[in-house]
Amino acid sequence: MSELDRCCPSATPPSRRAALGVLAAATAASWSACTTGVASAKSTSATAPSEPTSLSGDAGRSRTRLLLLGTAAGPTFTPGRAGIGSVLVVGDRTYIVDAGLGTARRFGQAGLQAASLAGMFITHLHSDHLFDLFNLLWTTPGALSGPVPIHGPGRAGALPEPYGGKSVPLVDAGHPTPGTADMISGLVAGYAYDMNIRNTESGAQTDHEKLFEAHDIVLPSGTKASATETSPAMRPFRVFEDDRVRVGAILVPHGPVFPSFAFRFDTDEGSVTFSGDTTYSENVARIADGCDILVHEVVDLDWFAANADIMGGYGPGILEHMAQAHTTPRQVGRVASDAGVGQVVLSHLAPGDPRAVTDGTWVKNVRKAYKGKVTAGRDLTQYGVGRRR
């Protein structure tokens, strides 16, 4: 199973899907059906969810807003949902947490401007959290107000033993675990011709290498964490601060993916914690302690168990992986209760198709362990943060 599959193991091999007749027209999803294609197959008469094109939700008079760009788990095209990505808007500045497939378009649909970008924060280096990172920065580079700090995981340092114990092909085998700074410098190098020709044909003085200011998140000294001990109990630590936000991080357990972080943003008006991809974790409860909004990932293991017959050749291994890498609704409720948060917003929904698991089902199951307000996130929904509500 590839790393990509490990984040979204429901990606059924195309031949298997065809044999099952899961997708009649699989062109767009031929590389990965994830949960969406499977759900579609079981609800062929249901209408595909419509694509949101403008903001919904009520942020009240809050100057600080949580805005969901994309809410789907996995590297997949999901009807009605972009890949995972959120924005914290603080006045005229925006801070992005993860940038999955489609989030650059959602950023524009939300009416946000590239010049507002004041920071990007990447929870971990799975592709479904990265696809639009460069697009967000590069689609309108001239409009950036200056270098954008990008904070994300550093080099893992080692890969885990291959699944099944059999060796697997590696990309760049001499340097197989690049971190955020490596990734950004590689992207800029790969786009060099485009950047150079635009400058030379227009006479622009854009110093592209300085626009993308990548920082590998450095763990506090003494943290006993590694590729084999991914999320020891620890205290949150500071990764970024300006005059609008303070951003803290903590390690979370996301299967073998290391480092994986949860982030907490504190502003003058209130606080928001993003769990990142994680299984149940006391570290998430620790960093979310008393915050106004907890944005938490979630997986419906019952749905995956019920649909195991059309999950390709993965069998029960899927459920094992999902349990080790993601969080059930009831577990989200436990984290929220332990942390005493003001409300829960579910995102990174697996499966993401609302025809597979309804908003009401997600909410009901979280509320078995948490009595506060719970919302199943939808793209382009905004929430007011803090005391001006």
Evaluated on CA atoms 197, 202, 208, 212, the torsion sign reads negative
Closer to Zn ion by CB, 7 or 249: give it: 7
Closer to Zn ion by CB, 128 or 269: give it: 128
**Pairwise CA distance, residues 265 & 96, whole Å:** 11
Q: How far is the CB of 257 from Zn ion (least distance, A)?
A: 6
- Residues 294 and 341 sit within 8 Å (Cβ to Cβ): yes
Closer to Zn ion by CB, 153 or 354: give it: 153
Q: Which run of H or of E encompasses 138?
A: helix 133-138
Q: Check residue 269 for interaction with Zn ion (CB under 5 A).
A: no
Which residue of 269, 277, 292, 379 would you call a contact of Zn ion, by CB under 5 A?
Answer: 277
Give CA separation, 275 vs 113, 248, 251, 281, 348, in Å. 26, 12, 10, 9, 10
**Pairwise CA distance, residues 191 & 49, whole Å:** 35
Closer to Zn ion by CB, 64 or 71: give it: 71
Which residue of 5, 98, 128, 216 would you call a contact of Zn ion, by CB under 5 A?
Answer: 128
In 3D space, the residue among 126, 1, 146 whose CA is nearest the CA of residue 76 turns out to be 126
Q: Check residue 126 for interaction with Zn ion (CB under 5 A).
A: yes
Q: Check residue 7 for interaction with Zn ion (CB under 5 A).
A: yes
Closer to Zn ion by CB, 81 or 126: give it: 126
Q: Which run of H or of E encompasses 246?
A: strand 246-251
Q: How far is the CB of 256 from Zn ion (least distance, A)?
A: 10
Q: How far is the CB of 243 from Zn ion (least distance, A)?
A: 31
**Pairwise CA distance, residues 355 & 127, whole Å:** 25
Listed ranges 1-9, 16-24, 213-221, 239-247: which one lies at the site for Zn ion (CB under 5 A): 1-9
Evaluated on CA atoms 72, 76, 81, 84, the torsion sign reads positive
Number of residues that bind Zn ion (CB under 5 A): 4
Q: How far is the CB of 120 from Zn ion (least distance, A)?
A: 16
Listed ranges 49-57, 193-201, 204-212, 273-281: which one lies at the site for Zn ion (CB under 5 A): 273-281
Q: In 3-state terms, what secondary structure has residue 61? A: coil
How far from each other are the two terminal CA atoms of the chain, in whole angstroms? Answer: 46
Q: How far is the CB of 101 from Zn ion (least distance, A)?
A: 11
Residues that bind Zn ion (CB under 5 A): 7, 126, 128, 277
